[in-house]
Structure 1
């Protein structure tokens, strides 16, 4: 199994408007998506999820929300850290960590262009 590593921080638009656009390099796909609003501590995120994906990268797992609650209660542990997320799926956890803690985060998942494009899309919205 091949694993891809990439940093969603490079997918966010810079304040001057430069950066990767979700429309750039749009990948042809037969996948269907659903956008759902998810409540996280201090924010609500609109996350596009696959209706189905063969690699199971389709939905936010319930453990994501429990882990985020734990991180919020241990906020000081995040100060100045570099983070690697294994099995990023939609990128929701990475987006939350970037917005809440301004951490340097690298995500990983299967080496799958559709998963990477979906994470990039979620970072844009």
Structure 2
């Protein structure tokens, strides 16, 4: 995947009161700094650790996350009873919000990068989610690490920065849709279901 050519810091609030902590990454000479910020979601406050920089911009909580979370609150019937996969989870904030607010069965995923996975796990623990949310390392277009994906809802927000990656994104989404096997589940809300059979069909929501 292409490395980000810029750090979109101008899109994010600059909170001068946040405490920055310097951490040593792998005992090298490169020092990664981060801040832990309190973010207000609908009816809940989350403490999210954000890194100063990541080559794929997975370090910050993007503004669209808040708008998307509000949309999902207003359309809760779309997520009730679903098994969800979030693409481009970044800090994991949206997935954490959905688990805490709706007890959603959700798996995070992002570029195959250990730092991203560890930061999502940190944010889960900081917000009282233990065990941490399951996570899938997946770079769009690469073979999917799960042979039989059974998520019936795929969500994502603020993931369309890398225009060159659109074909790879479509490849991954197509695989998830084609691999999903509908299941009979009357407990799931009928939105997006097969009206004749009651089978739950997989859906994708990108904000």
Which bin holds the TM-score, normalised by the shorter protein? Answer: 0.7 to 0.9
Asked if 1:28 is matched to 2:29, the reply is: no
Secondary structure, counterpart of 2:121 in structure 1: helix
Name which one, 1 or 2, has greater alpha-carbon Rg. 2
* 1:60 shift after superposition: 0.9
Equivalent-residue separation in structure 2 for 1:83 and 1:59 (angstroms): 22
Equivalent-residue separation in structure 2 for 1:114 and 1:124 (angstroms): 15
* Larger helix proportion of the pair: 1
Asked if 1:67 is matched to 2:65, the reply is: no
Secondary structure, counterpart of 2:32 in structure 1: coil
TM-score, normalization by structure 2: 0.46
Asked if 1:55 is matched to 2:56, the reply is: yes
Aligned to 1:113: 114
Equivalent-residue separation in structure 1 for 2:51 and 2:84 (angstroms): 25
Aligned to 2:99: 98
1:20-79 per-residue CA deviation (whole Å, 9 max, x = no partner) reads xxxxxxx73732111111000010001000111112111111111110000111112221
Count, aligned residues:
100
Secondary structure, counterpart of 1:32 in structure 2: strand
* 1:94 shift after superposition: 0.6
Equivalent-residue separation in structure 2 for 1:105 and 1:28 (angstroms): 30
Secondary structure, counterpart of 2:35 in structure 1: strand
Aligned to 2:12: none
Which ranges of 4 or more aligned residues in structure 1 deviate by more than 2 Å? 27-30
Equivalent-residue separation in structure 2 for 1:28 and 1:106 (angstroms): 27
Equivalent-residue separation in structure 2 for 1:60 and 1:36 (angstroms): 10
TM-score, normalization by structure 1: 0.75
